[in-house]
Structure 1
């Protein structure tokens, strides 16, 4: 097998794996242009007996008492509430950048107590706060639940997660995040995958094409762009975000041992190394045999289990893989001889341990 691997690697064509150019907006984040997470605590009502039990969810009882008290029902702290049509929930949302007052955003609702389903419920007015404690949006509306839960006296069927729901455009923005790009004279571009080569290429393409900005590489993950003309930051960003650049990345091999998935980067190289790979196959066969007593004797007929075990050792000699094997050569050779994913993972780990794999090996 390994001789075929050597032959396939030696005759494979050497192909330089070139990377396509991509737009700047697809590989960088503009400083300050980001979303903000919101969270709130609320009540869902209108459930068909699938809400929280008052005994196991005391916070739901307190929330109902407080809500009714604010609506003028009076103090119910001493009353025996036994409703099963309400549930306490956590409401989360993402406030997009530059969301203006009055715009609508989606919200997600998750049960906090022991409710079995949120299907058919309605979220009551729920303030949504940011990390600074300020209220930025208010959510309310009927829930859309993807899963369901059906139960009877002796059986229960659950599909999906009926205690998680969503409301499209379920929250209205009440407060804007203060951020004015027009007052800035420079902005930083944050690379999603920091790399010195990519950062320098971004700086070069901006300085070559743009006549209104000057770019400077600060570190492998940051490029600062400063205005030099009459345009403002929004106009400058519109000019440079569609510029294309060829990103660079370090050589890397990512292995998911659970699923057998292997991703090999285009710049991975392997030095000359000798490989010997063999397998051990153990076959276990279970069968049943009948044991009967001898004629004219006292005994019982019984079934006796029988197990046959066969061990096959697949041996292979050493093969030398030539120096500086490229990704194309390696993949063509492994595919040609039909090596499985688990065997490839073992080979790559052994090559890395021998110091012949010039790439970062990440196992997830």
Structure 2
């Protein structure tokens, strides 16, 4: 099956989309479910308490100092799979919206398409990805392409590689590092709430699309996502997720893409066991808005430093195996992310810097105990 399609037998599954709008404001839209919690709820009161289904919508100003947020708790999701195990797409419906994906088909002349619809008393939002060629991405753009996969040269790639099918506590898949998207947005806000920028009422946005599934969000984790658009030389980007995989084991999935290189790190090389590094050292400080990662292989080294101001965080719920835990995560869209690539020819040689890039207005998230202690 395609990892982007719903995994119907899993304990939880959540889809996350980050939109960068014309004014440089952003939207974080989450469609998340904990079916196991719904199955365990024998009464309506238990269902309401566990909150197994969540729609989270956050509109963040361009300077990340203000945000407008609503979380909704539908009673159920109706899931429609297209083709065997959803290989041709899917649609998730709830009482106030829907989210779905159509797989590309040369036979039907259809490109990869993801769409979103949220229609509530407060929020009217619709979005739909489109081929990159319609955005004027330059000569040679694939007219059927509307996404950039984890490995830009492999449409079936996923961060964890072959361990994506292993029975781990959590899995992560990035459907698109960057996609053009048509959208419309209207918020019914009061005078003292953040207003939609006039440029953000409709137009074309860029969207990052990913998902998690398995048993539960980790007890502690971080997430980084950022992208630079260089019309003359091509785009570059970084995406990181990781933390406490199981007690005593920290693991990270990392992808760094530039026009001339793709670096990907996954366990075991990006793992530490009871503090002993197998290829990664880190410093994680929510109180300082700081994440530092140093990932080493035999021949390449990737150094990442991400920082953001404390007054740019917004907070939201996350799926655990018992339902959605409130205020489990803190995320900022105002991160400065510095990336350095170093290389060497032999293991005993000193490292030589071969690439460096700084990203602004990136995403930085702290979850679970990295954010604050939780009893859930």
TM-score by length of 2: 0.18
**Bigger radius of gyration:** 1
Which structure shows the bigger proportion of residues in helix conformation?
1
Larger RCO: 1 or 2 (CA < 8 Å, sep 6+): 1
